[in-house]
Structure 1
Amino acid sequence: MLYPRERLLELEAERLAPYAQKGKDTQGRQYPEGESRFRTPYQKDRDRILHTTAFRRLEYKTQVFPNWAGDYYRTRLTHTLEVAQVSRSIARALGLNEDLTEAIALSHDLGHPPFGHTGEKVLHELMREHGGFEHNAQALRLLTQLEVRYPGFRGLNLTYEVLEGIATHEAAYPTGFRPEYPGQGTLEAQVVDLSDAIAYAAHDLDDGLRSGLLRPEELSEVPLLQELSKAEGLDLSRLDELSRRILVRQLLGYLITEAIEATHAKVAAAGVDSAQAVRQHPERLAALTPQGEKAHGELKAFLKERLYRHPQVLRERRRAEAVLEGLFAAYTRHPEILPREVQARIPEEGLERAVCDYLAGMTDRFALEAYRQLFP
């Protein structure tokens, strides 16, 4: 039995919740093109994202620990995959469009530069007089302009709903994306945003413990971790590898469950019966329960103080700042040393934006090697 696109769209419309974004209701693509015989529009978008150069580069971009710190720490790529897994789990429980959710999740961090959020802050400062820098806006630039994979247009020509999902991630619509339906975004996009926060809280705790920058006895400061460890019979003062994995798994399960239950309750109370009604609702509907939000906030505050501000992490940030500032100064002062394809974009984009795009696309190790070559 075959399931062509038309039948897949029918099945999707039959089984998804009324407030989900259906593939049959897509606002389409900027450039007309034929759809796949056996894939829905959002499945096609997901596949296009997976095959981009930008997606592959995420493997060598920092999450918290730089790539050279060890083989087992999360990178921007593994973070993205974990966000996709959490997003699909929540989307399935709520009757949302999993393919749209996954496409947004896989693309939500494509615009991140090397060295994580430090790199983003540095590029924003360097570009303050030239339009600034923000990773959501950069992801949109990648997917609508910078990735050139088709002869008829620049970018990937993704559906409106995927681009909307990137634009509404953690921020208002960035410059360059004009929403046809301004508002909160689809519930699928909101779920990805929430899943991002859930995933990094859990895996940053895991990486912090693995690295030794977080000591197990410190975890007793976080009420939720105390509660989960007690329920599992774990001793926070002596966490071995298996106990750490159990704790992180239970944490992730707790936050996902709280997200599903809270979002379901808010959707029911709001009475939304379409994706458009979700967009127009005055507040976001994807959320944690009050107790889940409190527990998540306490965990984030703990990680900020004990991990993100750890001297070793801060030393790596200083190195990242020096590298990006040095490269930006060198390339804007001597654009003739840039690759020819970057030089070719200067008349259209401007020198600073062309350099910024080049730097944002670098991996951590490529940026370090470029810096070593310029400043031996």
Structure 2
Amino acid sequence: MLAPYACHPEASRGRLYPETMSSFRSAFQRDRDRIIHSSAFRRLKHKTQVFVEHEGDYYRTRLTHSIEVAQVARTIAGVLGLNTDLAEAVALAHDLGHTPFGHTGEDALGALMAPYGGFDHNAQALRIVTKLERHYADFDGLNLTWETLEGLAKHNGPVTGPHADAKHAGPLPYALAECNAAWDLELSTHASAEAQVAAIADDVAYSHHDLHDGLRSGLFSEADLMDLPVTGPAFAEVDARYPGLDPMRRRHEALRRVFGRMVEDVIAVAKNRLDAAQPKSVEEIRGLGTTVIRFSKPLYQDLKAIRGFLFTHMYRAPSVMVERARVTIVINDLFPLFLAHPEHLPAEWRADVAQAADQTALARIVADYVAGMTDRFALQEHARLCG
């Protein structure tokens, strides 16, 4: 049973290209399935979060991260009476637009694309699902429902208008502007509660697994986490209950408590905010002017402390910075090479190049190609073309 403020599939605004309804899957289930079967989703297997793909088999990739986000989103959405299929679809697609080498690759490509409208991985995800996936006979992209597209565009909040985050100041990313021009996504409002769930599930998943990956990599130790909020009490609770526990089991037990604390906090806050607002429809959720799915203020401050620790000890650790510099060179070499010599692009991409109206159009085609690369393919291409 769905809550009245949930997205009901039978009330969906539909697809840009009308299709016959499925006899055994809802519109949002079809969206989820199309995302899972897309080429871009498969490529996430070889795109990493923090560590480059060849550095170890146990670190999270964009694919495993997306699966973890989807699991958290389904749990939270189910408890709140929301549409779990829509929450899962947005969660699975939210990282489709990421470049190789994580945020390092995005930073490099963003700088290179600055003269051509910039680069934003959220907007690129929309470009992928509306244009770049080319498998269907009747349309480019995946022809997802309006609600899933809205979730991808606005899961982090309004992009325009008085409630937009300050980081969105300035012109819209071109990929987002193109998609919105084709179908108005109402960028000045908040997204559905399902999309908000996908966004918070992303925060929960990476806050948990970055601690796990950082410990596994040896960039910091359990002792370093004892003085932090949330993590310190979690380890203390495990030590009190299981004295002398094997170190790996101790780590797992503590971090699963951190994970549980975040999920329980989100659910409790969401229930309180929904009870206070009493929304009667998803339109009322969009029009509240604030999110209903969020962390409590105390936990948010605790997580800021943990993220500050991770930034210093993991994201900007000396060994990670060395690798960041190396892979930045890869992007900085490949993009201008393809821009100057598009004949190096695969044949199916050269067909688009032939139709490019100007240098900006060509640069966006090159950015699409480079952004779609996996870590290993980008390294291979760099070795092949640049020596």
What do the CA deviations read for 1:231-289 (whole angstroms, capped 9, x no partner)? 22269999811111111111111100000001111121122111000011111111112
The two structures have a TM-score, normalised by structure 2, of 0.90
For residue 172 of structure 1, report the CA deviation from its aligned partner. 4.2
Counterpart code for 2:368: D
Q: Is the 8 A contact 1:64 1:116 kept in 2?
A: yes
> Which of residues 150, 156, 163 is equivalent to 1:170?
156
Residue 283 of structure 1 corresponds to which residue in structure 2? Answer: 290
Counterpart code for 1:374: L
For residue 66 of structure 1, report the CA deviation from its aligned partner. 1.4
Residue 311 of structure 2 corresponds to which residue in structure 1? Answer: 304
The answer to which of 346-355 and 120-129 deviates more is 346-355
The answer to which of 331-340 and 130-139 deviates more is 331-340
Q: Is the 8 A contact 2:226 2:233 kept in 1?
A: no
Q: Is the 8 A contact 2:234 2:254 kept in 1?
A: yes
Cα distance in structure 2, aligned partners of 1:59 and 1:283: 34
Q: Is the 8 A contact 2:157 2:190 kept in 1?
A: no
- The answer as to 2:49 corresponding to 1:63 is yes
Cα distance in structure 1, aligned partners of 2:194 and 2:228: 30
Cα distance in structure 2, aligned partners of 1:111 and 1:172: 19
Cα distance in structure 2, aligned partners of 1:294 and 1:322: 36
Instruction: Give the alignment's Cα RMSD to 1 decimal.
Output: 1.7
Residue 168 of structure 2 corresponds to which residue in structure 1? Answer: none
For residue 200 of structure 1, report the CA deviation from its aligned partner. 0.1
Change (3 A) 1:120 1:318: same
The answer to which of 77-86 and 283-292 deviates more is 283-292
Cα distance in structure 1, aligned partners of 2:28 and 2:219: 40
Residue 10 of structure 1 corresponds to which residue in structure 2? Answer: none
Residue 119 of structure 1 corresponds to which residue in structure 2? Answer: 105
Task: Identify unmatched segments of 5+ residues in structure 1.
Answer: 1-14
What do the CA deviations read for 1:78-110 (whole angstroms, capped 9, x no partner)? 000000011111101111000000011110000
Counterpart code for 2:200: L
Residue 17 of structure 2 corresponds to which residue in structure 1? Answer: 31
The answer to which of 332-341 and 185-194 deviates more is 332-341
For residue 230 of structure 1, report the CA deviation from its aligned partner. 1.6
Residue 164 of structure 2 corresponds to which residue in structure 1? Answer: none
- The answer as to 2:205 corresponding to 1:194 is no
Cα distance in structure 2, aligned partners of 1:37 and 1:213: 51
Counterpart code for 1:197: D
Residue 217 of structure 2 corresponds to which residue in structure 1? Answer: 211
SS in 1 for 2:368: helix
Task: Identify unmatched segments of 5+ residues in structure 2.
Answer: 160-175
SS in 2 for 1:73: coil
Q: Is the 8 A contact 1:104 1:189 kept in 2?
A: yes
Q: Is the 8 A contact 1:55 1:77 kept in 2?
A: yes
Counterpart code for 1:368: L
Cα distance in structure 1, aligned partners of 2:322 and 2:110: 20
The answer to which of 345-354 and 141-150 deviates more is 345-354
Residue 358 of structure 1 corresponds to which residue in structure 2? Answer: 369
Cα distance in structure 2, aligned partners of 1:151 and 1:28: 19
What do the CA deviations read for 1:111-170 (whole angstroms, capped 9, x no partner)? 001000111111111111111110111111110001011111111111000000000133
Cα distance in structure 2, aligned partners of 1:315 and 1:138: 27
> Which of residues 297, 319, 324 is equivalent to 1:317?
324
Cα distance in structure 2, aligned partners of 1:253 and 1:198: 9
Counterpart code for 1:341: E
Q: Is the 8 A contact 1:217 1:236 kept in 2?
A: no
- The answer as to 2:218 corresponding to 1:223 is no
SS in 1 for 2:230: helix
Cα distance in structure 1, aligned partners of 2:185 and 2:73: 25
Q: Is the 8 A contact 1:167 1:177 kept in 2?
A: no
Cα distance in structure 1, aligned partners of 2:185 and 2:107: 30
What do the CA deviations read for 1:171-221 (whole angstroms, capped 9, x no partner)? 644322323444110000001111101100100000000111112211123
- The answer as to 2:244 corresponding to 1:233 is no
Q: Is the 8 A contact 1:216 1:237 kept in 2?
A: no
Residue 347 of structure 2 corresponds to which residue in structure 1? Answer: 340
For residue 223 of structure 1, report the CA deviation from its aligned partner. 2.0
Residue 385 of structure 2 corresponds to which residue in structure 1? Answer: 374
Residue 83 of structure 2 corresponds to which residue in structure 1? Answer: 97
Cα distance in structure 2, aligned partners of 1:214 and 1:75: 20
Change (3 A) 1:135 1:236: farther
